[in-house]
Structure 1
Amino acid sequence: FCKAYYKEAGEYIEDYITAIHEEIVKIPDFFLFLYGDPSQGFDSFLSPEMLNYYNNLFRLAREAVAGKPEIIDRVNISGLSILFASLEASRANLNKQYSLNSKAQNWLNKFEKICKDAGIEYMNEMGYTVDEYISSYKKTLERFALPNLAAGKKVDALTSPKKYAGVDPMVLTDGALGGPSFYSNWLGFEGNDMEVIIDLGEVQEIKNVQTAFLQVTNHIVFFPEYVEVSFPGDISWDAQLGRPNADGLKILTSSPLKPGSKVNDIEYFNFNFDPVKTRYVKIYARNIKKAPDWHHASGLPAWIFCDEIGIS
């Protein structure tokens, strides 16, 4: 099939299929989950080394059919999954090569073009579109480019996260940003609010806090009702500017949960305020606690999932 469908590129596509299969079978207890995420394989069949190998095979495949646009299109479509994995590896900031740099931007442009040319509109069966993915990824690139005083700083969770991201609050300052799946880089709270404190290590002047939350309604993952920022401990406000308006430090979700809410979505919360000198920054997110009566999981605990926290 490979040689007939991909012509001269067939041997490289076959090598790719064989290689990824051989890597997966090396993990006897690996479960290829229907709603899985590339992050499941970043330490095995989708490691940076293997991604390099796969990407090189697709490069050779394209070169082998240069001048044959119809076959190149077939090769490009077949390579979308590895392109997607490379983008998510970059979002996870795996190493210098797979990070949110110019290469990730180039991969994103390529991913967008291939999908557009092939008429591919959706990322998954939940209605999450390619356009939404592209827009969200561009936002991720913008966020990553911003200076972040919270990067690598200690996070204390006053409420308990559950199950995902190793239940490690440090995922909120580790430099890895979340995508459309809650399996990667999102810190989850089931049935309870999120309340965390970032320790900047020393008193610093700040005027912006930002983060993001995930929604996957069919998995009982909803946006928080609101997110609030405060500064515990001794703080010093700029005497010329005074204290910021309290309302400016509390943002309601712009997408309250209702029948017909987008199944898969990301909401960004961006707090701008008058400069304040503080060592500690507290972020509180209000969980709706239970799925509403009209939801298929009515009465079950609701989740909220938080992404990287940026402070500047």
Structure 2
Amino acid sequence: MRLIVMIAGVLMIIISSCGVSPETVDLVRNNQSAYQIVVSVNSDSLSKVAGSELQEIIQKVTDATIPINHQKQSTGKQILIGKEWIDTSARIDTLDEDGFIIQVTKNNIVLAGNNGKANLYAVNTFLEKYTGCTMLSPTEYYIPQNKNIEVPLGEIFYEPDFNLRKLCFDNDEFHDYKNWNKLEDLDEWGLFVHTFQHLIPPEKYYDSHPEYFSLVGSHRLKDGQLCLSNPGTIQTLIANLRERMEEHPEMKYWSVSQNDCFNYCECEECKALYEKYETISGAYIHMANQIAQEFPDKVISTLAYNFTRSAPKNIRPLPNVNIMFCSIECNRSMPLEEDKRSADFVKDMKDWSELSDNIFAWDYVVQFKNYLTPFPNFNVLQKNLQFFKKHGVKIMFEQGSGHNWSDLNELKQYLLSKLMWDVDANADSIINDFITKYYGEAAPYIKSYFELTHQNLNKYKEEERLDIYGYPADYLDSYLQPGYLKEYKKIMDQAEEAVNNDSVYLKRVRRARLAVDFAYLDIALNKEPEGMSYLDRSGDEITIRQDMLDYLDRYTENSVATGAVNINERLFKTKDYRTYVLNKLHRITAPNKAKGKSVEILTEYSEKYPVGGGKALNDGVVGELDFHQKWLGFEGHDMIAVVDLEKSQEVKQVSMNFLKAINSWTFLPIEVEVEGSVDGVNYIQLGSVKTTDTDRGFLVQSIPYTIVFNTTSVRYIKVTASSLKQCPQWHRGYGNPCFMFVDELIVE
């Protein structure tokens, strides 16, 4: 943030170095004020809101009611809102759109910018600076009580470090919070990100113009990218974009950008563009430039994301082409410029900044597969924002957890809002101030938890990759070690105890502890560290610990009571997670006549994720919600497995789980059939089930399949799971082998 401070005509730094306190005026003294608020009758609505808010907050802090007038008086003390009242308005005109001034003389206080929004920013900054009020969350103010408000003489000019500052958290519907923290909406965007599918929808164009769509291998994909070397594709994009612009002529920014997948076109003409511009992104800039020429009064935004992240050679984006540069792949255990693993990203940022000064940085600051997991990335936030500012980023977008709660959600968006305005603000002071105000008597414990998670991650920062798509178990050897988890849990217990008699603070603490509880429970389920497993394996039979079930129930109830019910971006809810846990525990502890018996796999299984072949089907280990962990995979093949029960036994049920992870090319079987035999040669069908699940969503699920049949005496059980074998035509992996994953096979 560019900041110029004058106090009584003297630079603040000179006054401070001489140890002289600046002269002040009494805005309120002993609950009384001599001031009036002046807002012109012709002011816009936001300036009038600013006047009302100023009056309301001062009244709440001091009990002093300051009247609002619409005309400046020749005498008396006044708080003047708007640049029409200021003598140095020409200087204000040089400020950025959101810039403003706080000017204090002996009789007047001027809070002014170049528009109503900036006037409101000025008022809110004044209130926070001189009354101590703030908005801690989208619905929660902090308003201290005081008899007096003193304000130093002088003037301060404020300007933001980024022209537009957007947080994607749960603040979108709360205008007071955004205005207080100087956050903005994308209200000038007619289309926003991943728009190929909207401008050339496959359901409308694929059958008549398959050549518009990306050629991958030998197939034109519906759910891929577009063929950007085809003139018809470009003309159709222009025509359909023009229609949308005519419907919304007020919109300035229009995203024409790749879909959220890879699958870029491999036709010879597109390859020629990639070669010409030395990167795939060159073809996308070539496309964006053609469209931008058609609409010179608009801004055409396109992505530098995944396969288009590297800047091209031999082409420059036109001035009205916006580059949306994304950090999705980057590690979060270290700042970008300090992390060797992020060197390519840093280079790409520099390369783009040499081609364009119209850059939109899209950064990611939460863990999307597990919102409710400790994610100690606060130490990188400021340095990464400073990095983006240094390279000329104009628009800063921080991708959080949207309308869902995530670890230390309130603190993270509060800190980010301050740093996006001023990247050099004192982050430690902001964090400490927030924790103190938001958690009351529990603040020392929450601060201890905050510091411990960061200290523990920092020990492993060089080798640990803090991934936005990680799982708790991924960090079992670093900041989520069992000993650390037990310590975090103890701290949260102490935090609860400290505010047990205050329902407001208690709810905040219970929400904050959800991340600790989820990590503890999930690691206890999937890794079973000593002393923190759901299971008691000390006896002849494995049993489930009641204290862990109670812990799971408290966690689930707490999530509902505090409004944090979604575990991940696919809206996997805590109640559904509880069901998953109970199902998994049941499968581990259920009597299984197949356990430890010989299993022969008659089809080809994949060694990409080795789990021991047929032994994985009856080793007592049940798969996690991560296809890398404990699942036997079949890529492009059916599964036929034969279990030898060693002697004829009565059986009545066979069950197993299959993984559904469509975004990872993993599909449920078409049909599962169970057969039985007494001799291993002649089989009879015992039962079957066909898959009726048609949901194409990306939520990862472990789906139980249970085949119940009449009690039959058999020695051999044959299970046939029929795979799709190839990704279907509607899927972005069309034409490629798909996976089918299965875990423990239970015979009862």
| TM-score of the two chains, using structure 2 as the length reference | 0.37
Pairwise CA distance, 1:225: 0.8
- With a CA cutoff of 8 Å and minimum separation of 6, indicate the structure with the bigger relative contact order: 1
How far apart are residue 210 of structure 1 and its match?
0.8
Q: Distance in 2 between matches of 1:168 and 1:23?
A: 37
Query: Which residue is equivalent to 2:453?
Result: 20
Instruction: Give the secondary-structure state (helix, strand or coil) at the position aligned to 2:548.
Output: helix
CA contact (8 A) 1:291 1:299 kept: yes
Letter in 1 for 2:522: E
Give 1:15 deviation, angstroms: 2.9
Greater Cα offset, 58-67 or 269-278: 269-278
1:129 counterpart residue number: 573
Structure 1 residue identity aligned to 2:734: S
Q: Which residue of 2 aligns with 1:223?
A: 668
Deviates more, 1:10-19 or 1:73-82: 10-19
Q: How many pairs are equivalent?
A: 303
What are the within-5 Å matches in structure 2 for residues 39-78 of structure 1?
39-78=473-512
**Residues 473 and 527, structure 2, Cα contact 8 Å, conserved in 1:** no
Partner Cα distance (1:209, 1:145) in 2: 15
Match of 2:523 among 81, 86, 89: 89
Q: Aligned partners of 2:556, 2:661: CA distance in 1, in Å?
A: 23
Report the CA distance between 1:269 and its aligned residue: 0.9
Using the alignment, how far apart are the partners of 2:477 and 2:597 within structure 1? 25
For residue 10 of structure 1, what is the aligned residue in structure 2?
443
Unaligned runs of 5+ in 2: 1-431, 536-543
* Structure 2 residue matching 1:117: 3-state secondary structure: helix
Q: Deviations 1:193-251 (Å, cap 9, x if unpaired)?
A: 233344546554432211111212222121111122234662699xxxxx97x2x4221
Task: Tell me which residue corresponds to 2:739.
Answer: 303
CA 1:130–1:46 in 2, change beyond 3 Å: closer, same or farther? same
1-structure distance, mates of 2:441, 2:606: 51
Deviation readout 1:255-312 (Å, 9 max, x if unpaired): 1x46x45633332111223334445433332221121111122223212222322222
Mapped contact 2:665–2:739 kept (Cα < 8 A) = yes
**CA–CA distance in structure 1, aligned partners of residues 526 and 489 of structure 2:** 18
- Contact 1:92 1:176 survives alignment (8 Å): no
**Any conservation in 2 of the 1:162–1:190 contact (CA below 8 Å)?**
no
Cα distance 1:6–1:201, how it changes in 2: closer, same or farther (>3 A)? Answer: farther
Q: What whole-Å deviation, never above 9, does each CA across 1:88-147 have from its counterpart, x for those lacking one?
A: 223326156312532332122122212211223422112323343233333334434422
Task: Name the residue aligned to 2:630.
Answer: 185
Please give the residue correspondences for 1:266-277 in structure 2 after superposition, counting only pairs within 5 Å: 266-277=702-713
Structure 2 Cα separation of the partners of residues 202 and 34 of structure 1: 50
Report the structure number with the largest CA radius of gyration: 2
CA distance in 1, matches of 2:556, 2:671: 33
Amino acid across the alignment from 2:592: N
Match of 2:513 in 1: 79
Q: Alignment partner for residue 149 of structure 1, among 579, 593, 602?
A: 593
Amino acid at match of 2:639: M
Measure the CA separation in 2 of the matches of 1:73 and 1:169: 48
Residue deviations 1:43-85, cap 9 Å, x none?
A: 4433433332222221122112221222222222222122222
Question: Counterparts of 2:608 and 2:437 in 1: how far apart (Å)?
Answer: 46
Equivalent residue, structure 2, for 1:252: 690
Structure 1 stretch displaced more, 204-213 or 131-140: 131-140
Which residue type is aligned with residue 228 of structure 1?
Answer: E
Does structure 2 conserve the Cα–Cα contact (< 8 Å) formed by 1:48 and 1:98?
no
Q: Equivalent of 1:264, from 687, 691, 700?
A: 700
Segments of structure 1 that go 5 or more residues without pairing to the other structure are 238-242
Identity %: 29
Q: Which residue type is aligned with residue 19 of structure 1?
A: L
> Corresponding residue for 1:34?
468
Asked if structure 1 preserves the Cα contact closer than 8 Å seen for 2:633 and 2:739, the reply is yes
- Write the distance in 1 (CA, Å) between the matches of 2:527 and 2:490: 20
Partner of 1:46, secondary structure, is coil
| One-letter amino acid matched to 1:108 | L
Secondary structure at 1:164 match in 2: coil
Q: Is the 8 A contact 1:6 1:75 kept in 2?
A: yes
Q: Match of 1:240? A: none
- Deviation track 1:14-37 (CA, whole Å, cap 9, x = no partner) reads 333333334434443332333222
**C-alpha displacement at 1:154, in angstroms?**
5.1
- Aligned alpha-carbon RMSD (Å): 3.1
Asked if 1:110 corresponds to 2:554, the answer is yes
* Match of residue 208 from structure 1: 653
Change in Cα spacing, 1:5 to 1:126, as seen in structure 2 (3 Å) is same
Task: Identify if the C-alpha distance between structure 1 residues 4 and 216 changes in structure 2 by more than 3 Å, giving closer, same or farther.
Answer: same
Amino acid at match of 1:21: H
Q: State whether residues 90 and 104 of structure 1, in contact with CA within 8 Å, keep that contact through their aligned partners in structure 2.
A: no
CA 1:200–1:38: 2 relative to 1, 3 Å: farther
Q: Does 1:161 align with 2:606?
A: yes
Tell whether the 8 Å contact from 2:601 to 2:640 is kept in structure 1 after alignment. Answer: yes
Q: Which moved more, 1:138-147 or 1:106-115?
A: 138-147
Q: 1:71 to 1:294 in 2, by over 3 A?
A: same
Q: 1:220 to 1:143 in 2, by over 3 A?
A: same
Paired residues of 2:611 and 2:631 also in contact (CA < 8 A): no
Determine the C-alpha separation between the residues in 2 that align with 1:201 and 1:40.
Answer: 39
Moved over 6 A (4+): none
Mapped to 2, the partners of 1:253 and 1:79 lie a distance apart of 39
Question: CA separation of 1:300/1:282 partners in 2, compared to 1, >3 Å: closer, same or farther?
Answer: same
